Amino acid sequence: MKAIFSLHIIYLYWYKDMEKLRNWRIVKGISVKKAGALAGVTGIQWYRYKIGTRRVSAESLPIVARITGIPPHELRPDLADIFFSTHGRG
């Protein structure tokens, strides 16, 4: 039971962060397909990012962060240290 509760909490935090992708797209007034194209992925992949069934890949993280203005550590907290140590902060 404790493990299920922990997974649920993790999912809620992940979903909250991915809501930022949805909000960015809505504010910009662009489609899921267009958002995906800007990030170099399909619209389906962008939708999966948004609903939390897929994570932004390490390869796509710099692009998604740049186009959305959402810091990499908010999109992928688990990759932020790796990303910063390889590419520098900023």
Summarize pLDDT for 20-38 with one digit per residue, the tens: 888 999 999 999 999 999 9
Domain with residue 65: its CATH number is: 1.10.260.40
Summarize pLDDT for 50-59 with one digit per residue, the tens: 888 888 999 9
Count of structural domains within the chain: 1
Read out DSSP for 40-71?
A: TS-HHHHHHHHHTSSPPPTTTHHHHHHHH---
Over the Cα atoms of the chain, what is R_g? 14
> Could you tell me the residue range of the domain that residue 42 belongs to?
2-87
